């Protein structure tokens, strides 16, 4: 995911707009498999202040998530803010990302932001009934008799 910042470097203080998209392969993070159903889309403004490039915008994508209640896979929209600084390599001492020349490779920053903001628990639907604690069937799809004999 590459951003050409030649225009911004030539005109410090001026804000520019860009929309970038990139298809991302499935990733593994913290023991979790992250699968992307759509390309990762980044809509951002960027500007140069004479020393650093400041980027800010939003990341949007559809993920294949596993429901914490019923254990089924479902498509989950994931939309998070994106805000990062890029500095020339010589001055990268504060945890900022580095750029050289007029091209910014954004995929590392983008993936870092996605990983850090992943929901801890995803639920396919607010009304998801989950699994029966006795027989384990999916109560959204089935009706079991586990709780009926107790009355």
For residues 82 and 39, is the Cβ–Cβ distance under 8 A?
Answer: no
What is the SS3 assignment for 58-101?
EEEEEEEEECCCCCCEEEEEEEEEEEEEEEEHHHCCCCCEEEEC
SS3 state at 131: strand
Closer residue to Zn ion (CB): 59 or 124 = 124
For residues 60 and 39, is the Cβ–Cβ distance under 8 A?
Answer: no
Which residue in 66, 69, 85, 88 binds Zn ion (CB under 5 A)? 69
Min CB(94)–Zn ion separation in Å: 42
Beta strands in the chain (DSSP E): 2-4, 16-22, 27-29, 32-36, 40-48, 52-66, 73-88, 97-99, 103-105
Min CB(59)–Zn ion separation in Å: 25
Min CB(69)–Zn ion separation in Å: 4
Q: Which stretch binds Zn ion (CB under 5 A): 78-86, 98-106, 110-118, 123-131?
A: 123-131
Rounded to whole angstroms, the Cα distance separating 36 from 107 reads 14
Min CB(77)–Zn ion separation in Å: 16
Which residue in 67, 106, 114, 131 binds Zn ion (CB under 5 A)? 67
Closer residue to Zn ion (CB): 3 or 67 = 67
Q: Are strands 52-66 and 73-88 parallel, antiparallel or unpaired?
A: antiparallel
Decide if residue 146 touches Zn ion (CB under 5 A). yes
Decide if residue 3 touches Zn ion (CB under 5 A). no
Decide if residue 92 touches Zn ion (CB under 5 A). no
Please give the residue ranges that form the binding site for Zn ion (CB under 5 A). 67, 69-70, 124, 128, 132, 134-135, 144, 146
């Amino acid at each position: 995911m590459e951003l050409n910042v030649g225009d911004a470097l030539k005109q410090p203080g001026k804000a520019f707009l860009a929309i970038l998209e990139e298809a991302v392969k499935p990733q593994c993070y913290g023991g979790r498999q992250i699968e992307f159903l759509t390309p990762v889309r980044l809509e951002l403004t960027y500007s140069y202040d004479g020393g650093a490039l400041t980027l800010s915008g939003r990341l949007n994508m559809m993920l294949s998530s596993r429901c914490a209640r019923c254990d089924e896979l479902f498509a989950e929209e994931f939309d998070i803010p994106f805000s990062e600084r890029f500095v020339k390599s010589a001055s990268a001492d504060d945890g900022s990302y580095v750029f050289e020349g007029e091209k910014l490779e954004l995929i590392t920053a983008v993936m870092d932001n996605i990983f850090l903001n992943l929901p801890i628990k995803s639920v396919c639907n607010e009304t998801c009934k989950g699994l029966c604690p006795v027989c384990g069937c999916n109560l959204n799809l089935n009706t079991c008799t586990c709780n009926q004999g107790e009355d």
